[in-house]
Chains A and B, each alone.
Chain A
Amino acid sequence: MLFDIVDVNSSPSLSDPWWKVFYDFSSLTHKIDSSLHNAMSQFWTTIAEMLIIGVLILLFYALIGLFLVYAERKVCAFMQNRLGPNRVGPFGIFQTIADLFKLLFKELIPIKNADSFLFNLAPFIVIIASFMAIAAIPFAKGLHAIDLNIGVLYVIAVSAMGVIGVLLAGWSSNNKYSLIGAMRSGAQIVSYELSVGLSIITIVILAGSMQLSEIVEAQRTGWFIFKGHIPAFIAFIVFLVSSTAETNRGPFDLAEAESELTAGYHTEYSGIKFAFFFLAEYINMFIVASIAATVFLGGWMPFNVGHWDGFNHVMDFVPPFVWYIGKTFFVIFIMMWFKWTFPRLRIDQLLTLEWKYLLPINLVNVLIMAFLVLMGWHF
């Protein structure tokens, strides 16, 4: 069944008031599932559910993409003593929609001597990779398109697929800058994939599961960043750095390094194909931020402190979805903060940072965490 149920401790019954649904989506999804089952056969139910989820994720994808572009421009303006977009709509909130229409209507310039098949394929690979990763992310209790038992592995694997698109784009553009950008990107993403994986493995050891919903559920008594002593905190920092690098964002934006390679691998792209790369970059940022929120910061779990019952009650009152979005945007803000205040690294420094610092730190960190869990010294 596609609407998987998250492990529910106190499953609310259908007679609960309507707003209860914001605290547990599983009752709603159950209701939809059973009513669909009543209406049609198993096969058509599955098809219909796939369609609904596909459309919902597509909508969410587009909305998040548009909002993140707007948010980035506002955050960047805030860092740079500017106002940012403020003309289209109140506070310029429709600016990105206007930009989207501009990109849609722009001419798709055919490139001479480019490998047109690969050239056209590349943006799709990049965007599909990010699209697939979104499916496994738990947004709230029961709001989870597919709850794989190897969810963490799936997300890491799928989001790493984007590099193929970047490499193809750089190769097929028949542009020297693009090729350098693509090669840099290849070296960078393959290297930093290790750190991302290892820092998550540190937490997987602590959680004892790779299923994202279980990882979230295990944080009911406390977020892993607090539970796991110092190793979890180190893993969080390493994850932040390496995931920033993995999404090709500043200060690790060597693949598109504006001042060196003009625009790197997407120099030759225009119109909606460029928009695909652009959108995928922001969605990738959203994905790594939501993994950081899920794995380290408790996903949709509210912030609870020991025996402060009053405080905990207030925190529980905030719907899980809001918690999830809040945490994700907190991480996104930190990543934007990086981008707008740091100068860019050089390629050899980038690889040195990964192979000589982050990787050894991570390996030792995994050992320490395993030892802690073995001795039962974590909270």
Chain B
Amino acid sequence: MEEKVKNITTDEQQEYVINMGPQHPSTHGVLRLVVSLKGEIVKSVQPHIGYIHRGIEKMCESITYPQIIHLTDRMDYLSAHINNEAVCLTVEKALEVEIPDRIKVIRTIMSELTRIQSHQLWWASFGMDLGGLTCFFYGLRDREKILDIFEETCGSRMIVSYNCPGGLMYDIHPNFQKRVKEFIKYFRKILPEYDQLLSGNVIFHERSKGIGKLTLEDAVSYGITGPSGRASGFSCDVRKHEPYSAYDKIKFKEILFTEGDTYHRYIARIDEMWESMNIIEQLIDNIPEGPYAVKMKPVIKLPEGEYYQRVETARGELGVFIISDGNKSPYRVKFRSPNFVNLSVLNHIAKGFKIADLVAIGGSLDLVIPDIDR
């Protein structure tokens, strides 16, 4: 009898808890969200991570620097090239290698292409999260074109591993410039179609405006970077504030909004695609002549010390922190991954909204789960 009395809970304590994931269509991977509901309204979201943890940081301690690059592809697989670049830049910074302009320019073009294809896939899956299934095919159709360019130059489509410490694995394909120009021409015409299909839709506006508002203070204190942070007015573009590769030579706009809701996180990414195309157009005709890689020592050993380099991936700021004890493999590696940090804000901004909004907010944060777990 006593037990029964204990089990009676008040209305406030009664929660309808559902497990979204680890297998769920809208968590984009093996993320598990424990969602407490009251009817349709989300009371709290608890992300449970670690389902795809591979111990990349630990593995890095036992392999050489050129080998680390191939692991970073597997973190944020949609920003594969940018992750590679981050490690290369850290190693080059530690060794104080002077990188020729040709490499810098090619790296920048590839980074921006990576950013566009990442945003295309995000757009595709975000549309699907909101129930617009056709978006998925439109997004992937255009992404194919970039992947084809990657395939021709890098030999691989998604996990490119095109960088190596001191430069690039191989020179660009003779068709590279022509095909990139063709793509830009094509995509400038096709990107307004994205607006017609999704951004211009009344239902989409209703679903996204004012949903999951993230204030500037919260964005800064949670450390939300990338388009999600910039939609809240947090000027956090590493390309602008701490230019690496060829970003200091080109003119581009940092996309900033102040509203910070799902709609503006969406628009920020669409605008970034336009901006990335501008960047590529500035560079594609001006690839300087020169070697595609600097001659490095056969075994790369970083001098003793701590090195940090940050880059702007498609999702935010990726930091690579290496402690070296002078050996051919690092003593400790730490990646500051944007997705892990961006996920932390989910509970804060999704609280009080409907379960359908949770899916939209999760989609607008553009999470890639292997980058969270590493």
A interface residues, Cβ below 8 angstroms from B? 76, 79-82, 176-177, 180, 184, 250-251, 253-254, 257-260, 262, 340-349
Pick from A79, A253, A262: contact of B131, CB under 8 Å:
A253
Q: Say whether B359 faces chain A, with CB atoms less than 8 Å apart.
A: yes
Task: Please list 13 pairs of residues, one from A and one from B, whose beta carbons are closer than 8 Å in the complex, sorted by A's number.
Answer: A176-B18, A184-B40, A250-B131, A253-B131, A259-B25, A260-B26, A341-B197, A343-B130, A343-B131, A344-B130, A344-B131, A345-B203, A349-B203
B interface residues, Cβ below 8 angstroms from A? 16-18, 24-26, 37, 40, 127-134, 136-138, 141, 197-198, 201, 203-204, 206-207, 354-357, 359
Residues of A within 8 A of B356 (CB): 254, 257, 260, 344, 346-347
Name which of A76, A180, A258, A260 has the most chain B CB atoms within 10 A of its CB: A260
Residues of B within 8 A of A253 (CB): 131
Give the CA-CA distance A340 to B131 in the complex, in Å. Answer: 9
Residues of B within 8 A of A341 (CB): 132, 134, 197
Residues of A within 8 A of B132 (CB): 341-344
Residues of A within 8 A of B16 (CB): 176
Residues of B within 8 A of A345 (CB): 203, 206-207
Smallest beta-carbon distance B41→chain A, Å: 10
Pick from B18, B24, B40, B134: contact of A80, CB under 8 Å:
B134
Contact A342–B201 (Cβ < 8 Å): yes
Give the CA-CA distance A341 to B207 in the complex, in Å. Answer: 15
Contact B354–A346 (Cβ < 8 Å): yes
Pick from A81, A176, A259, A348: contact of B128, CB under 8 Å:
A259
For A344, the closest partner residue in chain B by CB is B131
Residues of B within 8 A of A260 (CB): 26, 355-356, 359
Residues of B within 8 A of A184 (CB): 40
Give the CA-CA distance A260 to B360 in the complex, in Å. Answer: 9
Contact B355–A180 (Cβ < 8 Å): yes
Contact A262–B24 (Cβ < 8 Å): yes
Contact B26–A342 (Cβ < 8 Å): no
Name which of B16, B132, B133, B355 has the most chain A CB atoms within 10 A of its CB: B133
Give the CA-CA distance A348 to B39 in the complex, in Å. Answer: 12
In the complex with contacts A180-B40, A346-B356, A79-B134 CB distance below 8 A: yes
Give the CA-CA distance A345 to B132 in the complex, in Å. Answer: 10
Contact B25–A262 (Cβ < 8 Å): yes
Smallest beta-carbon distance B336→chain A, Å: 30
Give the CA-CA distance A257 to B356 in the complex, in Å. Answer: 9
Contact B354–A259 (Cβ < 8 Å): no
Smallest beta-carbon distance B193→chain A, Å: 11
Name which of B37, B141, B203 has the most chain A CB atoms within 10 A of its CB: B203
Pick from B137, B198, B201, B203: contact of A82, CB under 8 Å:
B137
Name which of A253, A342, A346 has the most chain B CB atoms within 10 A of its CB: A346
